[in-house]
Structures are given as structure tokens and as C-alpha cells.
Chain A
Amino acid sequence: MNRRKFIGLGGAAVAGTYIGMKLQRPPKLSDGPAGQSPVAILRARSYSDDLVTRMLEGIRECGLDVRGKRVLLKPNLVEFDPQTVINTDATVIAAAVETFHKLGASEVLIGEGPGHRRDTLDMADDAKYRVTIPKFESIFTDLNRDDVSPVRGFAGEPEFYFANTVLAADLIVSLAKMKTHHWAGATLSMKNLFGLVPGSVYGWPKNKLHYIGISESIVALNRTFRNTFAIVDGIVGMEGNGPIQGTPKPAGVLVMGRDLVAVDATCCRIMGIDPEKVTYMRMAAELGHVHPARIDQRGETVASVRNNFDLMPEYRQLRLA
């Protein structure tokens, strides 16, 4: 009996959260869909760089057309600690709002459902979202407290509920932070979709996802929402005991693409993590490309921006050779 099965039998999961997944038997790596996935790596040395120009360049490289579309930007707003960099930087979100308007989106909204804290706007204040992002309150939806509708077949559940703002979006842009994660190895654009799940139905934290399994939930969310694009804020990421208690790690990049699996695989390699050793990456390989030969790297090369993130001892086996 492996540890995952043991947790399942116990039906416990503070445990889904607390027991490491590192002893899971890794699933076979799928070849993924046909063709290649473009992923753009753009250098941005600081948040005062011209991020709109970088984003326009990256989106053009990836061939994304957003004209007339209702775009939902999903940042990573978790908690606030002035000593570190937990959340997607406000300047990245502001730049994304401007970028998607410039590209002809009919509407650009921001939505997030933090997993631990209930006062979302207070955290948004702390993270300087309200002062940095023009008209923030009029375009922001707390996905934890939005109206909801059921979706059938999510992770084998007869019904699973999502915020209507999410379900109405033509395109969901995962504006993730490049961070290590003490349960999943790394948290990037795919795991960022946890925030689409409403706390009003599933609680704070969204413990149901832990019981489904963190990796299984990441894959299920990315299987359910295919109308996605990723922009990962790796200008200053987080290393060590992420996603909350780690330390800032300047990596100086924005990573973008339509294939979130390929974007996250690329981010892992930039961080010095082997994505083929990350359980949820292997499981998600049926949805997108993990193997570097199937990723059409645009902009900078991985080698030119690789910057090993410090890993907790439990995850050092993930280090990319």
C-alpha cells in the first residue's frame, strides 16, 4: 500500500495537505497531444520594466487572438507577508489588463478566490492591487463569493461548482507566481487554477481538492478549463518553503503560452526542477507538452535564464540534472 492509498483509506486529508506525495508511484509520462506548443520566455529584470511591451511580444509569439473575447485574469493572491513575495505582483496584473485591452478584448476582468483568508479585498489592499490596478474594484470578483453553477464530471464528482464569472469567460489567463511548493514541488500556472473553486461551497481552505488529491485536482481543473493562457510572474519568484514561507528569488523572466503544461514545464526547468519528476506534471502530460522536444521555445532559451531555486530537502530529488 503506498502512502496515497493509505490516505485514501483513512479518508483524511488535512492529510491530503499534510502527507507528502513524494512516495507516490509516478504515472507513465504521456507523449501528449500532437504537434508542438510555443512557450515564450521574456526577460524582465524588474517590475519597473515595460511589462506591457513584454507581454505583447510574448502573446504575439504564442499566436493568441483575444479580439472580442471576455478575458478573466486569475492572479495568485494567497496571503500577504511584507517579508516575502507570495502573490502575483500588482504591476504584472496592471500590465496584463492594459495588454489585453490593447489586443482588442471586449472585457478584461480579474478574479481570485484565495484559499485561506476570507477578506480578499483586504489582502488585495496589502498586495497593492487597489492602488496599482486602475478601477480595480469595478473589474474584480471575489470568486469565493460569486454566484455559482454546477459542472458535471469534474474529477469524477457528479456535480462540482464553479463561479459564474469563471464559467462565462472566453479566456482565463493564469497570472501565476513562480514558486516552489511544499506539497506539490512547484506552483505555477496550472496549480493557480485552485483559486477558481468557490470557498462558499468548499470552504477555506478548499479542502475538497485535497481529498480529491492535489495532483488529481490540478489535472482536473486544467482538463475542465481548456480556454486558458498563462503568464507566469518570474520576475521575482519564491524559493525554499513555498508557497507562503519561502524567500524571494529574482529570476527576471515572464513565461507565457497557451499550453499551461508546457509553460509550467518550462518554468520548472528555469527553476532547476525536472518537470518529469513532478507528479502533477506527469499526470498532466496528456493535456500538454512536458518534453522539451515538444516545446517550441520562443524568446530566451531556458539555458540562458536558468536560475536554480532552492528546494526543501524533501524535494531535492526533483533537481534537474
Chain B
Amino acid sequence: MGGVYLESRLEFLRQTQNLDGGWGYFPGKQSWFEPTAYAMLALQDAPGSEKALNLAWGLTRSWQCSDGSFRPCGHVTDGTWVTALAINLSCVRGVYDDNLHRAVSWMLSVVGAEHGLAMRAASRLHLLETKLDVSHEGWPWRDGNASWIEPTVHTLVALKKVAAHYPGAELADRVRDGEALVWSRRCADGGWNCGNPNVFDLDLPSYPETTGLALLGLQGRSPQQLAGPLEVAQRFRAETKSSLAKAWLAIALRCYGQSVDAPADAARTSNDILLAALEALAHPDGNHRFFQTPGGLA
């Protein structure tokens, strides 16, 4: 399966796993939740990976805080947006236990701080020097901060995947509102940047990688709504030279069933573990389906 391109990346991941079971952003570095999660998703179901995956799973579970959130690495004491990745991982492994329930509850308790009462009042009084719509909650990188595209999108994917196992209307409401936030942050050029489309009445440009990510969060919207963004994503995919952006765009477009040129069978040259995992996931034979949320909730 996958040829040289995919196998070289999976082998790189196998060789760079730390003794504690996690992966750093680069070989030999501290284990972090983010590259560990993507490496686990990339290696899931790959022959001979079970032991490595179990070791990694044990490490990520040890990073759960008492409030249900997950820490971004063993050296950081408080939980962050990576809790969304933990939920996704748990769904992929079919583990729907109390730990998962507490993680979901934590994510549902977190709201982008710009949604606070004072900010909404300031927005109504036109005191904000931005066109930002603060009526939506979304999700921040860290609790207590404002919401941004990437953490919001990962949370949308996670909540849509776990929805069937988490009863109650709150989750569906947050998903709908989160999708609305993503729409509200769309840039004038049709794509998305990190979540700030306009400053001082001046439009800011979108980025290719965050455009791919935004599309992941909008799965389930109508084809008419998504036609424009998908077109922008295809254009970015053809134009960008960023390997990271290419990977996220390919993952997103494949999740929508769109055709994406298969990468050339190139052996790896970079030592970037997160990138290797995303490139493996983005491959036609890779596990991009783990970001797929058929139907969504909207």
C-alpha cells in the first residue's frame, strides 16, 4: 500500500518514536501531544504498529488533567486545544469511557473570550476596530483567550465524531455555532487565515493551510455553500509550495471526495515529524478518513 511516499513517512514515524511512547516535533526532542496524535492517526491500522500505538496511547492518557483537558506536553501543567485531538484519537480507537466524557465536557465548557458580555456590548456600540462577529463562541488555543480557526476546527471535528456517544443538545448547539463562527471569519478572498479577516476596515488575506483546516470543520454543509471554498482550496493546493499547507489541503479535499493529485513517490528529506505524519495522512492510501465527519450535524 502507498508506495515509497507513504511507506517512507510511516517508517520515519516508527523510527522517531520516543522511549516514552510519544513523538516530538523533531527527532530526539520532547514528546508533544500534537505530533504524537498525528503520528498515531497516520500509523493506525498500519501493519506492525500496534505496540507503538499502545505505548503512545498510554502516554497521551497520562496527560489528561483533573478537569478533563489534555496538556500539550508533559512539561506543561494546564490543558489546551489539544484536548480536541485527544477526543478524535479516542474515537478512532473506539474508547468511549469516562476520560473521554470528561474531555468532551471540558471542551464544551470552553468559550472564546471575545464572546464575553462586555465584548458583545462593545461590538453593538461599534467600539471594536474590527468587523469581527463576536456573537459566536468558538474555541481558543487556551482557555481564557479568544477563538481562532484552527482550535475551533479541530474541536468541531472531534465533537461531530463523538456526538453519538455524548447525549444532550448542548454539543449539537455548540457545533452549529462553531460552524457559524468559521463562516463569519472567512476572508474577503474566499479562504481563511488564522481567524482574523479584517483589521481597521482593511481585509487581510487567507492562508492555504487554514483554508484546508476550515473546510474540515464545515463538513456536512450544503454543496452550494461549500463550492466556493472548495474552489479556493483547489487553487491554493495548486499554487502553494508549503508542504504543510499542501498536506492539510489534501486531507480536507479528500474528506470531501475531491480529486487531488497523488504526490510523487519521493523519499523523505525533511526531519519534521508533524509534517511527515500529515503527509502520510494526506496520501490517497493514508488515514485522512480520521478527519472525516460524514454528514456533520448542521
Contact = CB atoms under 8 A, between A and B. Distances in A.
Interface of A: 3, 6-7, 9-15, 17-20, 116-119, 121-122, 125, 142, 145-150, 159, 161, 182, 200-205, 207-208, 210-211, 241, 244-245, 312, 314
A12 B146 CA distance: 6
B140 interface: yes
Nearest to A6: B118
Interface on chain B toward A: helix, strand, loop, or mixed SS? loop
Given A12-B116, A13-B114, A200-B32, A205 B194 contact: yes
Contacts, number: 143
Contacts of A150: 75-77
B174 to A, nearest CB: 19
Nearest to A164: B30
A241 B132 CA distance: 19
B117 A10 contact: yes
A148 B245 contact: no
Contact of A200 (B73, B150, B196): B73
Contacts of A117: 194, 207, 209
A182 B128 CA distance: 14
B225 to A, nearest CB: 25
Contacts of A18: 128-130, 132, 199
7 contacts: A12-B115, A14-B146, A14-B147, A18-B199, A19-B122, A146-B29, A182-B200
Nearest to A145: B25
Contact of B148 (A7, A9, A10, A203): A203
Interface string B137-153: 00011101111101100
A298 B117 CA distance: 52
A186 B150 CA distance: 29
Given A12-B134, A117-B207, A208 B142 contact: yes
Contact of A211 (B32, B127, B144, B150): B144
Interface stretch (B87-95, B98-106, B158-166, B236-244): B236-244
B105 to A, nearest CB: 21
A122 B244 contact: yes
A303 to B, nearest CB: 32
Contacts of A142: 25
B286 interface: no
B80 interface: yes
B244 A15 contact: no
Given A119-B243, A241-B200, 10 more contacts: A10-B122, A117-B207, A117-B209, A121-B272, A122-B244, A142-B25, A145-B32, A202-B141, A203-B80, A207-B148
